[in-house]
Structure 1
């Protein structure tokens, strides 16, 4: 994070009273030239920060393989359109017609005729009035939309492509069109251009200084800052629910939280978070914390905090995470409370591991898991969304090759993949704000958590990619764990299956289909919003809504059509479901009980480890 006192330029705000024409005229050419020179100096530092670790062999470029795959994918699209001259001419004519129509409308408006511009949904990326009022920028914007719509249509209408290739082509095209938006460049964005002129280029000096800092922070890779990380510290103002680490091993720490009620539910609650991110998404701050809220509802809450792995964990596979993670936590809970029956929650891939463990336990006669709740979890990966773009034999082989060196996948790789799912919201606005406007991002706890990346153990990650995304073995009854072939139909316990309507990582349809494969009573609920906000939605916020009580055994679309919509958070609905399965209460329990001596305060040391 840039040191405010050492920033190479001070921020100057644009003059809001400047006329439209004056806003584009440099007022102080000498200062402007001086700042451009300083900007180039900072850009040189950024280039040096990028080149140096490569010269030392500390960083190996990995862009060639994705670029090769993208070119290969687009070549298949091109083959379809170029193989038939008539088809190729029609495609070119379609694009030219769009340009001519746009030009005609622009000429009419410039001559005073009443010619309405094309109707499009308003975009925050084109909010400056000059996108509409200045003919030059309006032309750029309309030309961009016409071109991007045409390019996406070419992909959509390419016959003869297999579904995976079509999916990749559409995804790559979205990445390209998002990157080439005129909103992302100074010369083509009126807001950026005016800001550059008003500050005599000081914004670019600041921006290139931040770019150099972010490449240094990424050790030769760009670590895009999405939040002011200086404002957060785990255990001090984030992840602050009081509790203790009561057990640990090579893979995880087990946390137990201090009770806030005199009596608690007899069945303890175990949360199995994803190891792709850190558990404190469920404990961002007291107002947003699901963990704190659950404690206040009378749950004895235990959480697995996964290790941030290094070379020592290279061979830790799914069986290890099941045995040394979930089973270890269940043993710990029994030692701390004397209870064998436990309610469990699995979030995202933590839920996928929980489902696999439940199927394994069913074969082994282990009945400690009494109910299961899945937060945005996939057990069937047929409709797994855009992440499937990154999964085929060649790409997985490339990832496995990259993991061989250190025994893990660097956390930044997964963070970049997740950001690419919503590049227009999670990448380019920050590129513009940070490096072109030269402004620090606002402090935002959710985005701070998002940037607090974790590594993936090689054996674990390879098993996950191949068995889930590539081969869909869990839902097809082919996944093997601990020598057993797993069957989701063996899961007979009550299940609460929560999906999120706008989830880009675990699409609601995918979560719904996976839930139908389980053999017991499954309560499906769909929350409003996405993968995080749909889950982290405290009742006090009064936000969003959820759908429940859709028709049994229906197709997903029919379930949605017939479900009941309820405003607000789904949390109370889940709590009622838990209590309906077992509402017996006992006196509140202290962390560790009489058998276990707490090791350290929550959130523990494992979650603090940085990549």
Structure 2
């Protein structure tokens, strides 16, 4: 909208009258909002930020530095004052001249400030410049804080960045030109629609604010996502086991059992035909079983890693062997399921169970000595708060984990979507990946604490041993042929951390692959797209840095390379198998019942 068009609207009496009427509707919706928040159960405040000791230590260190080196601190303050005064002077000049000078070319582009008014309007230009000055000054002050250990420094940097992102002028209606322009254009209807979106999101999550990222009405599980044909051939309280229909006349004798993470749903690997790993695997001539985990409620409070291993992993492996009448399977574990598959393989080694011929790990951490981006959340104050949040209900609600992951990319996954939905009144996009991202799962309290305390904090699998079923399990116990697929820009399971775990595994036949892109796109990377390449290097004795320096870059998806490796471990060709057998008849069509259970059901 141009300035003249904006003035025409502002000077129109009819437009102003309709705007006032709509603002009265906004007031009514605001009252509804207050009612929802009044009945909100809430969550443990320790999940919203670190305890005050961190900030106290930082403040004490900053104060000590100021006393010891006051000249340096004054220099910083004077520099901040100078920049602020220059910002104000520039705004005054612009107001007088009714124009704004071009922003310095050295300043990085920021998608939040894409509206031309951030440069052309003196008011918005000053707000933006002062915000960037404030952000720069806060980050510089954090960098100057001494006498903090690396973990505290990491946490202080992270939480200061969260404050900086939260206070961006784009997050507030009076200082967001996009939202203000749309409010004028729509006579306030965009604000009404936005508040309705906000009320809807709060009601859907019992008063907790979880920004809806996708238009949920655009998708139906089993109809336009998760549509690969198959049958549920087994069900217990922990999982449904889906056997997919063959796509070839013959198949490899040894079947595949795929374990997805239980933090999210399995259909990330079957969003649509064009990028479905599940469909592609069956087309390569394999019998494929996929576990669909239960979305637990309070009845699962006492379920731990033991139940996931015994009633999930081991049961699925044994059922696949029984149905296919074979002695071994090839197993795949994705993310937390890859971590747990590794524990399961170590346990099977202790028991002398050779049911798994080879294993494939997708973005799976097994050595947690470097906590990476999750360092701020894996300290005792946060984990203690999670334990208290689990409390009597015995369940860690899905939104806690979803929020944690989202705030690692807050501008893209929190503030940007919130602005579009709540300020602009836009309907979220019909994007299948974002729909899946919002379809999270609760976690049993016992399992969550075991995972956080024993693996993430204690790093027991790599250091000292993880206790399970009376056995002490070590990474070196994982000694079967293995391929690990990791992703170059993965911030959830950084590839170099995954590499450290694979290095410590005991097998002699190990393949390590780094795909381009991140935690999802690097895995869901079909050959037909020819989008992301991958890195390979057979020398796993090198440091992660040297491994990458010496790696070969390969164009295209890693899928065919992995399939070539798997084929050698999958036996002869046999007649294609229909799902189930006489002892395990099909119970219902894929994708089954469990995948349809929502976190709030």
Residues 138 and 603 of structure 1: CA distance in aligned 2, closer, same or farther (over 3 Å): same
Counterpart position of 1:463: 450
Q: Distance in 2 between matches of 1:142 and 1:60?
A: 36
| Match status 1:324 vs 2:346 | no
Counterpart position of 2:78: 93
Counterpart position of 1:571: 559
C-alpha distance after superposition, 1:260-292 (max 9, x if no partner): 011112211111111111111111111121111
Task: Verify the 8 A CA contact 1:245 1:255 in the aligned structure 2.
Answer: yes
Residues 558 and 94 of structure 1: CA distance in aligned 2, closer, same or farther (over 3 Å): farther
Structural mapping, 1:305-316, within 5 Å: 305-316=292-303
Counterpart position of 1:554: 542
Q: Distance in 1 between matches of 2:174 and 2:9?
A: 11
Q: Distance in 1 between matches of 2:234 and 2:432?
A: 28
| Match status 1:260 vs 2:247 | yes
The number of residue pairs the alignment matches comes to 590
Counterpart position of 1:140: 127
| Match status 1:272 vs 2:256 | no
Counterpart position of 1:530: 518
Counterpart position of 2:140: 153
Q: Distance in 1 between matches of 2:273 and 2:326?
A: 28
Q: Distance in 2 between matches of 1:19 and 1:538?
A: 50
| Match status 1:241 vs 2:241 | no
C-alpha distance after superposition, 1:455-477 (max 9, x if no partner): 10111111000011111111113
Q: Distance in 1 between matches of 2:348 and 2:59?
A: 50
3-state SS of paired residue (2:187):
coil
Structural mapping, 1:148-547, within 5 Å: 148-520=135-507, 521-547=509-535
Report how far residue 104 of structure 1 moved.
6.5
| Match status 1:127 vs 2:107 | no
Residues 72 and 26 of structure 1: CA distance in aligned 2, closer, same or farther (over 3 Å): farther
Task: Verify the 8 A CA contact 1:537 1:569 in the aligned structure 2.
Answer: yes
Q: Distance in 1 between matches of 2:43 and 2:444?
A: 21
Q: Distance in 1 between matches of 2:280 and 2:141?
A: 49
Q: Distance in 1 between matches of 2:109 and 2:9?
A: 24
Report how far residue 26 of structure 1 moved.
6.1
Task: Verify the 8 A CA contact 1:346 1:352 in the aligned structure 2.
Answer: yes
Report how far residue 103 of structure 1 moved.
5.3
Task: Verify the 8 A CA contact 2:503 2:540 in the aligned structure 1.
Answer: no
C-alpha distance after superposition, 1:559-611 (max 9, x if no partner): 22221222322111111121234453222111113442111111111111112
3-state SS of paired residue (2:359):
strand
Report how far residue 70 of structure 1 moved.
5.3
Any runs of at least 4 consecutive aligned residues in structure 1 with deviations exceeding 4 A, and if so which?
A: 100-116
Task: Verify the 8 A CA contact 1:505 1:531 in the aligned structure 2.
Answer: yes
Report how far residue 422 of structure 1 moved.
0.8
| Match status 1:586 vs 2:596 | no
Task: Verify the 8 A CA contact 1:502 1:529 in the aligned structure 2.
Answer: yes
Q: Distance in 2 between matches of 1:471 and 1:269?
A: 32
| Match status 1:609 vs 2:601 | no
Task: Verify the 8 A CA contact 2:225 2:271 in the aligned structure 1.
Answer: yes
Counterpart position of 2:4: 19
Which of 71, 81, 91 matches 2:62? 81
Q: Distance in 1 between matches of 2:110 and 2:538?
A: 34
Residues 212 and 218 of structure 1: CA distance in aligned 2, closer, same or farther (over 3 Å): same
Report how far residue 544 of structure 1 moved.
2.1
Greater alpha carbon shift after TM alignment, 209-218 vs 251-260:
209-218
3-state SS of paired residue (1:345):
strand
| Match status 1:49 vs 2:36 | yes
Q: Distance in 1 between matches of 2:79 and 2:493?
A: 36
Task: Verify the 8 A CA contact 1:26 1:200 in the aligned structure 2.
Answer: no
Counterpart position of 1:9: none
Residues 540 and 89 of structure 1: CA distance in aligned 2, closer, same or farther (over 3 Å): same
Task: Verify the 8 A CA contact 2:213 2:417 in the aligned structure 1.
Answer: yes
C-alpha distance after superposition, 1:418-451 (max 9, x if no partner): 1111111001111101110011111111111111
Report how far residue 394 of structure 1 moved.
3.1
Q: Distance in 1 between matches of 2:392 and 2:404?
A: 21
Greater alpha carbon shift after TM alignment, 443-452 vs 111-120:
111-120
Task: Verify the 8 A CA contact 2:227 2:591 in the aligned structure 1.
Answer: yes
What runs of 5+ residues in structure 2 fail to find an aligned partner?
Answer: none
Report how far residue 115 of structure 1 moved.
6.8
Q: Distance in 2 between matches of 1:371 and 1:518?
A: 13
Q: Distance in 1 between matches of 2:566 and 2:404?
A: 35
TM-score by length of 1: 0.92
Report how far residue 68 of structure 1 moved.
6.1
Greater alpha carbon shift after TM alignment, 572-581 vs 114-123:
114-123
Q: Distance in 2 between matches of 1:136 and 1:71?
A: 36
Q: Distance in 2 between matches of 1:593 and 1:120?
A: 65
Residues 549 and 189 of structure 1: CA distance in aligned 2, closer, same or farther (over 3 Å): same
Report how far residue 380 of structure 1 moved.
0.8
Q: Distance in 2 between matches of 1:564 and 1:121?
A: 32
Task: Verify the 8 A CA contact 1:70 1:172 in the aligned structure 2.
Answer: no
Task: Verify the 8 A CA contact 1:378 1:384 in the aligned structure 2.
Answer: no
3-state SS of paired residue (1:427):
helix
Report how far residue 18 of structure 1 moved.
5.5
Counterpart position of 2:46: 65
Task: Verify the 8 A CA contact 1:82 1:88 in the aligned structure 2.
Answer: no
Task: Verify the 8 A CA contact 1:386 1:504 in the aligned structure 2.
Answer: yes
- RMSD over aligned CA atoms reads 2.2
3-state SS of paired residue (2:207):
coil
Q: Distance in 2 between matches of 1:467 and 1:575?
A: 34
3-state SS of paired residue (1:128):
coil
Residues 449 and 91 of structure 1: CA distance in aligned 2, closer, same or farther (over 3 Å): same
Greater alpha carbon shift after TM alignment, 134-143 vs 254-263:
134-143
TM-score by length of 2: 0.93
Residues 480 and 490 of structure 1: CA distance in aligned 2, closer, same or farther (over 3 Å): same
Report how far residue 101 of structure 1 moved.
5.3
Report how far residue 552 of structure 1 moved.
3.4
Greater alpha carbon shift after TM alignment, 460-469 vs 579-588:
579-588
3-state SS of paired residue (2:504):
coil
Task: Verify the 8 A CA contact 2:540 2:547 in the aligned structure 1.
Answer: yes
Q: Distance in 2 between matches of 1:599 and 1:533?
A: 32
